[in-house]
């Protein structure tokens, strides 16, 4: 049994599709590629594939990771070529590697996400107000936020999931934020949630709904070493 790990993207054009839709799109691309993908046994066979971390509706990504099992060995290069040919233009494939030896599931392995957020230009005072908001957020030890959920609301401390100080640069398009977030077995925080708090509680300028969010990296951080799943 061969297991391959893929590094792929989610483009601007499909920003608004859900993780499930994204996964189905990959499944269909794999089927079109005619690679010998393995299926589960049982009543309702499904393709043996898994993702590192679900991406929210509205978020693009430069670093999505998925694993797929093959029933026959095929080289990573061959799968790359076959799949590159079958992906819609909205998804790019960057790297493929064979998973050698026993490794944890992708989902259990990845523990850190980096997001880039562009908040559209919002007045002449944007730079000053934005930097002030971010620095106050960074200095605050505990930032409580109520995660809304149909099954009941839950209060979390956002700062527990913030791995590094949030950074902000203001350019001609607006403010560009960088956010590094822990993904833990107990949960994580969405970049949109952090942004909402920044706007509503720290007076960050602009409307959080207008922001463009991109996941620029997903990592495995062990002590001070930050590795891409492709380097594991």
Partner 1 sequence: MIKLDPSFMGKVIKPGRYTGNELNIVRKDPATTLASFALAFPDVYDVGMSNLGLKILYHILNQMSDVAAERVYAPWVDMELVMRQEGIPLYTLENMRPLAEFDVVGFTLQYELSYTNILNMLDLADIPLLASQRSAQHSLVIAGGPCAFNAEPLADFVDFFVLGDGEETIKDVAHAVIEWKRSGKAGGKAEILARVAAIEGVYVPAFYDPIYHADGRMAAVTANHPAAKTPVNKRIVRDLDGAEYPNKPVVPYLDVIHDRVMLELFRGCTRGCRFCQAGVIYRPVRERQPQTLLKLAQELVDNTGYDEISLTSLSSADYSCLNNLVESLIERFKNQGVSVSLPSLRVDSFSIKLAQEVQKVRKSGLTFAPEAGTQRLRDVINKGVTEKNLEEAVGAAFQAGWSTVKLYFMIGLPTETDDDVRGIADIAYKVLDLYKTIKGRRGAKVTVSVSSFVPKPHTAFQWYAQNDMVEIERKQQLLRSLLRDRNISFNWHDVKVSFLEGVFARGDRRLGKVLLSAWQQGAKFDGWSEHFRFDVWQEAFRQSGIDPAFYALRDREHNEVLPWDHLSSGVDKEFLLQEYRAALAGGLTVDCRRGMCGDCGVCSGLGVEVIDWGEGRNDKVTTGDY
Q: State the burial class of residue 105 (Cβ atoms within 10 Å of its Cβ: 0-12, 13-18, 19+).
A: exposed
| Pairing status of strand 49-51 against strand 225-227 | unpaired
Give me the least distance between CB of 56 and partner 1, in Å please: 10
| Dihedral angle over CA of 23, 28, 34, 37, nearest 10 | 40
Give me the least distance between CB of 232 and partner 1, in Å please: 28
Q: For partner 1, give the closer residue by CB, 46 or 224.
A: 46
Structure tokens at 119: 């908040």
Give me the least distance between CB of 155 and partner 1, in Å please: 23
Q: For partner 1, give the closer residue by CB, 35 or 130.
A: 35
Give me the least distance between CB of 180 and partner 1, in Å please: 22
Give me the least distance between CB of 213 and partner 1, in Å please: 9
- Strand ranges (DSSP E) for the chain? 2-10, 49-51, 59-70, 93-98, 112-120, 144-147, 154-157, 167-170, 174-182, 212-222, 225-227
Q: For partner 1, give the closer residue by CB, 30 or 114.
A: 30
Is residue 116 within 8 A of residue 211, CB to CB? The reply is no
Interface residues with partner 1 (CB under 8 A) are 13-18, 20-22, 24-25, 27-32, 34, 37, 39, 42-45, 47, 57-58, 86, 88-90, 207, 209-212
Q: For partner 1, give the closer residue by CB, 29 or 112.
A: 29
Q: For partner 1, give the closer residue by CB, 39 or 128.
A: 39
């Amino acid at each position: 049994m061969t297991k391959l790990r893929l590094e792929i993207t989610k483009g601007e054009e499909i920003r608004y599709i859900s993780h499930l839709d994204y996964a189905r799109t990959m499944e269909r691309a794999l089927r079109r590629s005619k690679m010998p993908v393995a299926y589960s046994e049982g009543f309702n066979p499904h393709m043996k594939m898994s993702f590192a971390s679900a991406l929210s509706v509205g978020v693009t990504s430069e670093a999505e990771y998925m694993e797929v099992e093959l029933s026959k060995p095929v080289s990573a290069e061959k799968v790359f070529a076959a799949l590159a040919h079958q992906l819609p233009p909205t998804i790019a494939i960057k790297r493929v590697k064979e998973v050698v030896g026993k490794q944890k599931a992708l989902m259990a392995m990845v523990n850190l996400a980096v997001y880039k957020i562009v908040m559209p230009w919002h007045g002449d005072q944007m730079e000053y107000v934005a930097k002030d908001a971010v620095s106050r957020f960074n200095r605050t030890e505990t930032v409580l936020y109520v995660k809304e959920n149909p099954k009941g609301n839950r209060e979390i401390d956002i700062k527990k999931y913030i791995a590094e100080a949030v950074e902000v640069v203001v350019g001609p398009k607006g403010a560009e934020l960088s956010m590094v977030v822990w993904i833990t077995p107990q949960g994580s925080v969405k970049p949109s949630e952090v942004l909402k708090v920044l706007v509503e509680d720290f007076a960050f300028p602009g409307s959080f709904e207008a922001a463009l969010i991109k996941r620029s990296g997903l990592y495995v951080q062990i002590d001070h070493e930050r590795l891409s799943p492709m380097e594991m």
